[in-house]
């Protein structure tokens, strides 16, 4: 078996892959595979979009096809260029490349308008003056058929005249809409004369002030797919009931190459909200510090937090592609992140709550350059130098004046090993005027570098440290889950904001990091030994003040809490 065949055999099978493979075998669409990712530029992409991106781009890549990036920019009132730029950056960061050029639904506004005129001419679309409240009343319910609009049987000539007036901006916003004439008694409510065009007297970020009417997503979607030659239009499951409408437009317009729509279950993650409206509320009301806040489930937020594109892609592969809705445990995402960082993140030492230690028997002016592996299991990642001197910092939590045998760190009168360095013994505690511990006086055993004490003393504990005069003063941001509730937006009568975790961000100043981290670059992941995985912040870190974000803890601290709740 070739390497290519082995890779193909190792890929998990799912129904979308099977459909495309079967189409290729039967020469459907002349054997072509052309997918698309069609985001709305009204917010940043989130973890759910990552699944869709991976699916659409990977299927095109696997079957030697193409994948378009098309912005569904049919609602200019909520769209911004900043969102477009962020979406492009997210896709590229994930490691995918779209088929050039970038497409916009607005590229097809002229053709969509002409097709709307065609449907009017065929007696299959009409201008309706029902108010929104009247339209809801006429539409019916899931159990009751709708009833025809009083404007449904206008003549073709009158509809063409009114639609032209809509296009020219001669009619007020909300005064009327263009609707498809399908079936007001259909059990599928999406076929009850859906809206095709609304009047909007707003400027568009791509077309300027050319248009006073804008098409709906349902009208735009299938026709844009057809224009671009899309073969497999892959959507999330909420569009399943829209598929008959998607097909109605294609069947009733002069379109030869017709794409097919397929639906898969969207990604639902616990302890998370992915509603764009709610994510925007978090940003607008200042509960987080922007769309790329590391607590946000946005791709930009996870990137800033230190999650790698490989970890996100692996997670999307782990959860698979299915037809039935389910909720994925966020622990699976965290496992993918930890696994990736454990294998690939170089090690470093950073003392989050520093306590000075003076090694009294170490030469006053001596600075020793010790060596430490960048990764314990990857010698190919090389080594780094650790300056060692008379004064060092350890963590406050790594010292006690008295402790039982289970405590494996530094205790007054006892010994502990410094990571990649010597064994030290705590001899004396120095207090300040308030009675607080100011520093620890210790002695070191110069014969214990890289080996156990010669007289057979057993030192069980190992703690991390940094040299006091050769360290970096850094800010450390300890990020945690944004929500305490497993399903923060499940109850309609409870504001999801009440479930925000008040400890989702703790900022520590005056942390002491080893000097090698001066060479860290933004987004580079490190394991701060015994503390967790961190990365240099891509925006706030400066040469004078490095800022490190905690990506994730070393171990899952939530599983125990979940079992207790």
Euclidean distance between CA atoms 242 and 237, whole angstroms:
10
Q: Are 68 and 96 in contact (CB under 8 A)?
A: no
Neighbours of 485 (CB within 10 A): 17
Tell how strand 410-411 and strand 399-400 pair up.
parallel
Tell me, yes or no, if 266 is annotated catalytic: yes
Euclidean distance between CA atoms 403 and 405, whole angstroms:
7
End-to-end CA distance of the chain: 50
Tell me, yes or no, if 51 is annotated catalytic: no
Phi, psi of 467 (to 5 degrees): -70, 135
- 459 HSE (CA, 13 A, CB side): 28
Query: Three-state DSSP class for 399?
Result: strand
Q: Which of the following is catalytic: 78, 147, 198, 276?
A: 276
Euclidean distance between CA atoms 388 and 369, whole angstroms:
6
Tell me, yes or no, if 40 is annotated catalytic: yes
Q: Is the dihedral of CA 221, 225, 231, 234 positive or negative?
A: negative
Q: Which of the following is catalytic: 266, 278, 414, 481?
A: 266
Angle between helices 15-25 and 47-62 (to 10 degrees): 20
> Among all chains, which residue has been given the structure tokens 């079992």?
563
Euclidean distance between CA atoms 551 and 548, whole angstroms:
9
Q: Are 94 and 53 in contact (CB under 8 A)?
A: yes
Query: Three-state DSSP class for 178?
Result: strand
Euclidean distance between CA atoms 188 and 222, whole angstroms:
18
Instruction: Write the burial class of residue 561 (CB in 10 Å: 0-12 exposed, 13-18 middle, 19+ buried).
Output: exposed
- What does the radius of gyration of the chain's CA atoms come to, in whole angstroms? 31
Euclidean distance between CA atoms 323 and 12, whole angstroms:
15
Q: Which of the following is catalytic: 24, 40, 356, 400?
A: 40
CA 107 vs. chain centroid, Å, equals: 28
- 284 HSE (CA, 13 A, CB side): 7
Tell how strand 103-104 and strand 368-373 pair up.
unpaired
Please give the positions annotated as active site.
40, 266, 276
């Amino acid at each position: 078996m070739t390497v290519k065949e082995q890779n193909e055999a190792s890929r998990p099978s799912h129904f979308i892959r099977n459909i495309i493979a079967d189409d290729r075998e039967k020469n459907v669409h002349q054997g072509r595979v052309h997918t698309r990712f069609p985001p709305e530029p009204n917010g940043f992409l989130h973890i759910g979009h990552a699944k869709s991106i991976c699916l659409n781009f990977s299927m095109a890549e696997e079957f030697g096809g193409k994948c378009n990036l098309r912005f569904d920019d049919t609602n200019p009132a909520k769209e911004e260029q900043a969102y477009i730029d962020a979406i492009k950056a997210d896709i590229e960061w994930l490691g995918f490349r779209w088929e050039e050029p970038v497409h916009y639904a607005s590229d097809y506004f002229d053709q969509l308008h002409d097709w709307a005129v065609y449907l009017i001419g065929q007696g299959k679309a009409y201008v309706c003056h029902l108010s929104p409240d009247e339209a809801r009343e006429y539409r019916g319910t899931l159990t009751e058929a709708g009833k025809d609009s009083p404007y449904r049987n206008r003549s073709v000539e009158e509809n063409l005249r009114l639609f032209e007036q809509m296009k020219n901006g001669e009619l007020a916003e909300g005064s009327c809409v263009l609707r498809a004439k399908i079936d007001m008694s259909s059990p599928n409510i999406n076929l009850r004369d859906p809206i095709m065009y609304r009047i909007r007297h707003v400027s568009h970020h791509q077309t300027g002030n050319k248009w006073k009417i804008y098409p709906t997503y349902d009208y735009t979607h299938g026709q844009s797919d057809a224009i671009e030659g899309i073969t497999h239009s892959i959507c999330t499951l909420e569009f399943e009931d829209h598929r008959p409408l998607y097909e109605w437009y294609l069947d009733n317009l002069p379109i030869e190459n017709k794409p097919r729509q397929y639906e898969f279950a969207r990604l639902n993650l616990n302890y998370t909200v992915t509603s764009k409206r709610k994510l925007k509320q978090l940003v607008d009301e200042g509960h987080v510090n922007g769309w790329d806040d590391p607590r946000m489930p946005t791709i930009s937020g996870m990137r800033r937090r230190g999650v790698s594109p490989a970890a996100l892609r692996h997670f999307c592969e782990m959860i698979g592609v299915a037809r039935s809705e389910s909720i994925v445990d966020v622990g699976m995402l965290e496992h993918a992140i930890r696994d990736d960082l454990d294998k690939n993140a170089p090690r470093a030492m950073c003392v989050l709550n520093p306590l000075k230690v003076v090694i009294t028997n170490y030469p006053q002016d001596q600075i020793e350059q010790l060596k430490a592996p960048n990764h314990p299991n990857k010698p190919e990642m090389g080594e780094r130098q650790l300056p060692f001197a008379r004064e060092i910092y350890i963590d406050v939590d790594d010292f006690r004046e008295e402790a039982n045998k289970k405590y494996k760190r530094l205790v007054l009168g006892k010994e502990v090993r410094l990571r990649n360095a010597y064994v030290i013994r705590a001899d004396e505690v120095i207090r300040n005027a308030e009675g607080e511990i100011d520093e620890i006086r210790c002695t070191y055993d110069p014969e214990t570098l890289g080996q156990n004490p010669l007289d057979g003393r057993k030192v069980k504990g190992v703690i991390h440290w940094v040299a006091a005069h050769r360290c970096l003063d850094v800010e450390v941001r300890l990020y945690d889950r944004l929500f305490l509730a497993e399903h923060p937006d499940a109850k309609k009568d409870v504001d999801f904001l009440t479930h925000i975790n008040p400890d989702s961000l703790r900022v520590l100043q005056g942390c002491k990091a080893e000097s090698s981290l001066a060479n860290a670059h933004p987004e580079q992941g490190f394991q701060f030994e015994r503390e967790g995985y961190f990365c240099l912040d891509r925006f706030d870190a400066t040469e004078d003040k490095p800022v490190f974000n905690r990506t994730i803890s070393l171990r899952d601290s939530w599983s125990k809490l979940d079992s207790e709740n």
